[in-house]
Amino acid sequence: MSRKQQRIANKLATQEHATQRRSLALKVFDEVDALVDREVARSIARGRTPTCSRGCSHCCRQEVYVPRAEVEAIVEWLESSAPHLIADLKIRIAAWLSWYRSQYPRLVASGVSRRDAFYAHGPQCPALVDDACSIYPVRPVFCRTHYVVSPADACRPEGDPARSDAPVQSLGIFTKTAPIATRLRALVESQGSDFNGTVHLLPEWLAHLLDVEQQPWRGARPAR
């Protein structure tokens, strides 16, 4: 095989691998949704009704780490089903990256915890529009499983005058998705990649895959 033929073969293999990852990610989303429905129903039957609802977006300031495969599915959905959202989304991603590289390191250096830097001082997720998720049909697994039964105002950041003093009580569904999510890990590693190496913050992957920046994770950040 000539070098040109090898390059073509490699490109085709890369495209096929991406297609496989996107397809499996969508199946994982569906299976996770079914699990979430069961867990929420059980919780309601025990008298613990989730308080999460549209417009309640306090949790959308958290660090959300996702594997590349999930964001590939998100970007495919954006390009095929919601292309009108992309231009404004890219602007919000660029603003998020600017905060992450400038204000975030200064906050942590001043003694603010990593969690509070994001939750109390950081911008909301770039996918959020009018306190609603603009990519809701393809939101990451972490977001699909994040439910609380405590008062919604308990999720407000420290310093918010409307914050409730009640402790935040999560349903803890995310850990139960492991048997489903490990299928993505197995696929990625069968393709020759280190799965953990494909995990980055959601805005970083969106920036990379939507061509906001090719290497958005190069910015300096405090150690975890």
Task: Please report the pLDDT score of residue 4 as a whole number.
Answer: 66
The pLDDT value given to residue 222: 43
- 135-176 pLDDT, tens digit per residue, is 999 999 999 999 999 988 888 877 788 888 888 899 889 999
For the whole prediction, is pTM greater than 0.95? no
**Average pLDDT in the 19-26 region?**
97
- Write down the domain spans for the chain: 3-218
Q: What is the mean pLDDT of residues 171-185?
A: 91
Asked whether the beta carbons of 59 and 119 are under 8 A apart, the reply is no
In degrees, to the nearest 5, what angle opens at C-alpha 44 toward C-alphas 38 and 50? 95
Evaluate whether 164 touches 16 at the Cβ level (below 8 Å): no
Q: What is the pLDDT of residue 57?
A: 87
Q: Which amino acid is at 62?
A: Q
Integer CA distances (angstroms), 82 to 3, 42, 44, 76, 152, in order = 38, 34, 34, 9, 30
60 CB neighbour count, 10 Å cutoff: 19
Whole-angstrom Cα distance, residue 170 to residue 59?
12
Q: What percent of the chain has pLDDT over 90?
A: 67
